Amino acid sequence: MRRSTLERPPAVPPPLLLAALRPGMLRLAAAEADGVILNWLAAADVPTAVAELGRRPDGFEVVARIFVCPTADVGHARALGRRLITTYLTVPAYAAFHRWLGRAETLDPVWRAWAAGDRRGAAAAVPDEVVDALVLHGPPEDCRDQVRRYADAGVDVPVLALLPTPELAAGGPAALADLIARLGPAGERGAGVNLTDRVVVITGGAGGIGAALAYRFAAEGAAAVVVADLDVAGARAVAEAVGPVAHAAELDVTAEDQVRALVADTERRYGRLDLFCANAGIATAAGLDAAPADWDRAWRVNVLAHVYSTRAVLPGMLARGQGYLLHTCSAAGVLTAVGDAPYTATKHAAVGLAEWLAVTYRDQGIRVSALCPQGVDTPMLAEGLAAGHLGARVIAASGAVLHPDRVADAVIAGLAEERFLILPHPEVANHARRRAEDPDGWQAGLRKLVRRLRS
């Protein structure tokens, strides 16, 4: 690495993972890198490779590429596996790796046939046990259990190299989506996100995204869902519709004493508070000349309220060593809300605060997600569109306007993965990347859209 220079070195050096097979490289990885990438080894081989790493620095990652052919068609899996093994394990570095792992005798006939130019004979000489150990196959759940053996043996990050199967060829994209879910860790798929028995508070729960979260959390098995809102009649209607696990609370999120009282009441009733969703938010549809009271209110509802609720819940969560904060920010917090200066500024602040919390408290068991949707079909956006506000029209022209239930889907998936940035509109990630890489180009694109909508 000494003689290699990057034209544009990243500000924060990325982790360096070294692909390593045999002892020298494995030891080099442990001494110099942030992790090691293993390849073409069986779960039973992992301890041999890991032992060579010796003492590793904290945070060092062992990554393994694992070939998976999730099919009930054993013949298909073994034929494909044989072909792959014959082409890979005859490459000198991989042959030496498997000699070191103790397969010299088993694979010798393969190497000899290959050297003599007999590719068919080489493939035929790979014993079934070797194919089965190196190319996992069977129903997806069996493959998942076999992958777990790698994890149990010391692999931190299993990277699945998914091979084609007859089932995938017949089932198309839907079969692929189903397969990926079934290969995931057991009990953490879809409904498996652990909201079971959780005690949840949602602010701004009387409608829109907050109400959709309340319904969804209850459906996922939450023990208690507190629907809090300034609009207490709306909150009551939602809590009633959600069912007996829910109850309504009148709350102004900008009044710190009210927030503290609600948190204390929840902890008293249920013994804990697992997930606090700071979701209440307001838009102003105003530019720089927004009235001072509007600037102030946007700041208090969209930002300070997140400070108040976090201050109220943290002592209990830290004492238990765990807790989850879901802060509804907005795509406006990572991009720009055309036509609404206070909303843009305060949502950027909300994302900044959430990020600060994640960095500061994650190691004490506090998980933080910032929910950043673009257009969602709620009263907030509907009112903007009905009034013909430019900002609402830009949102509607920028991509799909999602039903709040789709936002709840994204939240469930994001919480399951403990992902910081939850983006119900995946395109927001691309916009944000573009904005970071080329701010001028990105702004020019947005101005063009605005000119088009104005004309």
Q: Of 251-280, which residues contact ligand NAD (CB under 6 A)? A: 251-254, 279-280
Binding status of residue 355 toward ligand NAD by CB under 6 A: no
Quick one: tokens of 418? Answer: 């403990």
CB of 330 to ligand NAD, least distance (A): 3
Which of 234, 323 has the CB closer to ligand NAD?
234
Q: What letter would DSSP give residue 164?
A: P
> In this structure, are residues 355 and 370 in contact, taking their beta carbons and an 8 Å threshold?
yes
Binding status of residue 246 toward ligand NAD by CB under 6 A: no
Which span sits near ligand NAD by CB under 6 A: 19-27, 118-126, 206-214, 265-273?
A: 206-214
Amino acid, res. 56: R
Binding status of residue 160 toward ligand NAD by CB under 6 A: no
> Among this protein's residues, is 270 annotated catalytic?
no
Amino acid, res. 373: P
Q: Is residue 35 within a helix (H) or strand (E), and if so which, with residue range?
A: strand 35-39
Which of 131, 214 has the CB closer to ligand NAD?
214
CB of 359 to ligand NAD, least distance (A): 22
> In this structure, are residues 415 and 193 in contact, taking their beta carbons and an 8 Å threshold?
yes
Give CA angle at 360 (356, 365), nearest 5°: 120
Residue 312: how many other CB atoms lie within 10 Å: 23
Per-residue binding letters, 16-45, with ligand NAD (x by CB under 6 A): ------------------------------
How far apart CA 49 and CA 119 sit, in angstroms, is 29
CA-to-CA dists, residue 256 to 252, 259, 307, 343, 345, angstroms: 8, 5, 9, 21, 22
CA-to-CA dists, residue 454 to 138, 377, 394, 398, 449, angstroms: 58, 22, 10, 14, 9
Which of 42, 402 has the CB closer to ligand NAD?
402
Set 94, 308, 343, 361: catalytic member:
343
Binding status of residue 281 toward ligand NAD by CB under 6 A: yes
Which of 131, 209 has the CB closer to ligand NAD?
209
How far apart CA 274 and CA 137 sit, in angstroms, is 39
Number of residues that bind ligand NAD (CB under 6 A): 29
CB of 246 to ligand NAD, least distance (A): 15
Quick one: tokens of 206? Answer: 């009387």
Task: Figure out which of the listed residues 70, 210, 339, 391 binds ligand NAD, where binding follows CB under 6 A.
Answer: 210
Q: Of 305-344, which residues contact ligand NAD (CB under 6 A)? A: 328, 330
Q: What letter would DSSP give residue 300?
A: I
Which of 12, 387 has the CB closer to ligand NAD?
387
Q: Of 358-377, which residues contact ligand NAD (CB under 6 A)? A: 373, 375-376
Which of 123, 331 has the CB closer to ligand NAD?
331
Task: Figure out which of the listed residues 151, 380, 385, 413 binds ligand NAD, where binding follows CB under 6 A.
Answer: 380
How far apart CA 125 and CA 106 sit, in angstroms, is 9
> In this structure, are residues 325 and 369 in contact, taking their beta carbons and an 8 Å threshold?
yes
Binding status of residue 301 toward ligand NAD by CB under 6 A: yes
Three-state DSSP state, 63: strand
How far apart CA 234 and CA 53 sit, in angstroms, is 59
Which span sits near ligand NAD by CB under 6 A: 119-127, 175-183, 223-231, 262-270?
A: 223-231
Which of 206, 325 has the CB closer to ligand NAD?
206
CB of 196 to ligand NAD, least distance (A): 25
Binding status of residue 391 toward ligand NAD by CB under 6 A: no
Q: Which of 364, 254, 270 is nearest to 314 (CA)?
A: 364
Active site residues: 343
| Residues binding ligand NAD (CB under 6 A) | 203-204, 206-210, 229-231, 234, 251-254, 279-282, 301, 328, 330, 373, 375-376, 378-381
